Structure 1
Amino acid sequence: MTTIPAPAAGGPQFYEQTWDLSYRHALGETTSAFLGALAERRILGRRCPACGRVLVPARSFCDRDHVDTTDWVEVARTGAIEMFTIVYEPFRNLPAPPYALAYVTLDGADTALVGYVRGLDLSDKDAAVAALAIGTRVEVGFADEPQGTAADYWFELPAGG
């Protein structure tokens, strides 16, 4: 039996851990098609035949009904922010801070897609938080030469918005 020491009086305890992982994913038919569509500047979802939800990013099964998804659905390149975070601390292998990430439910989708937010001044934290408020409308931007990866797209506030 292992004895766990009691927390030190007067402050929090910390456990430091470093993870450096590389993955090689088998994409499968659904993810391959989703990424292929990104290379064409399109965003695809899959419809659940039981509940009718359109799942984006496209998934081969519905997490709610546990059935295979069926029809491919192209969703809009506009949507609303569901959740966001602004990162001001550096993380290895990620962009230099500050940067923002948002989960956006695109028009025609029922689930949110995560992506970076570009084109927003993040130096004024309060103004940036206000600009990224839940419900804020955003547009999808695409790389000039998309490669079929999650780095091909990002979210931005509409011009004049």
Structure 2
Amino acid sequence: MAFKTRIQRPAEAKPWYGELPVESLYTMGIAGEKFFRTLKDKGKIIGARCEKCNYVYVPPKMYCERCFESIEKMVDVGLTGTLTSFTLVYTDIDGNPLPKPEMVGLIQLDGASTNLFHRLGECAMDDLYIDLRVEAVLKPAKQRTGSINDIKYFKPSKKKRPINRSRKTVDRDRKP
């Protein structure tokens, strides 16, 4: 049976043994490069603001997923935010057990409309709750490499939520 021949009966299908070597190089793109370079060089977290719908993406994107407009404006979203969800992680990305569970959470930074997934630290699991104010703890400037791990973790913050938020937030804040 030739490779392009259509199988008429499923019983004719035969397995193919072997390996397919797959190599890929992850590129962060234009928006990702700006995000990580700003994090590394300035110790700031930036987002991409859509001029049409005022939605702010963190990490930044080059187009708005809501209205499909091109995004060029990058804005500082600050280092503080609100914990919107949290959990314990017991395995690494490959499914291997971690030496000890890690606390992770979704953080909506004060100037962002989206959530950022990251580690939580300087607290116990019992100290966490939805709407907890948190702030980013960055690595020292000389240790930053331009990766998401330049943010060591987010810790509970004593800083208050901004009173006047002039941004559009996640769907729960939208008016019908």
- TM superposition score normalised by structure 1: 0.74
2:57 to 35, 55, 58: 55
Q: Does 1:132 align with 2:132?
A: no
Q: Which range moved further: 77-86 or 91-100?
A: 91-100
The residue that corresponds to 2:154 in the other structure is 155
Deviations 1:11-39 (A, max 9, x none): xxxxxxxxxx9752122211101010110
Looking at structure 1, the residues matched to 24 and 108 of structure 2 have their Cα atoms a distance apart, in angstroms, of 27
8 A Cα contact 2:46 2:78, kept in partner:
no
Q: Distance in 1 between matches of 2:147 and 2:97?
A: 16
TM-score, normalization by structure 2 = 0.68
Q: Which runs of 4+ in 1 moved over 6 A?
A: none
Consecutive unaligned residues in structure 1, runs of 5 or more: 3-20, 122-127
Q: 1:28 corresponds to which residue?
A: 29
Cα distance per residue 1:72-102 (max 9 Å; x no partner): 1011111001111112x33347853211111
**Of 78, 81, 84, which aligns to 1:82?**
84
Q: Where does the alignment leave 5 or more consecutive residues of structure 2 unmatched?
A: 1-8, 11-21, 159-176
Instruction: Return the alpha-carbon distance in structure 2 between the equivalents of residues 132 and 99 of structure 1.
Output: 13
Residue pairs, 1:5-44, within 5 angstroms: 24-40=25-41, 41-44=43-46
Give how far 1:107 is off.
0.8
Q: For residues 98 and 29 of structure 1, do their structure 2 counterparts lie closer, same or farther at Cα, with a shift above 3 Å needed?
A: same
Q: Are the equivalent residues in 2 in contact too, given 1:90–1:97 (CA < 8 A)?
A: no
Query: Cα RMSD between the aligned structures?
Result: 2.2
The share of aligned pairs that are identical, in percent, is 27
Task: Provide the rounded CA distance (Å) in 2 between the counterparts of 1:131 and 1:62.
Answer: 35
Q: Of the two, which has the highest radius of gyration?
A: 2
Deviation of residue 114 (structure 1)?
1.2
Q: Give the number of aligned pairs.
A: 133
Distance (whole Å) between structure 2 residues aligned to residue 63 and residue 142 of structure 1 = 29
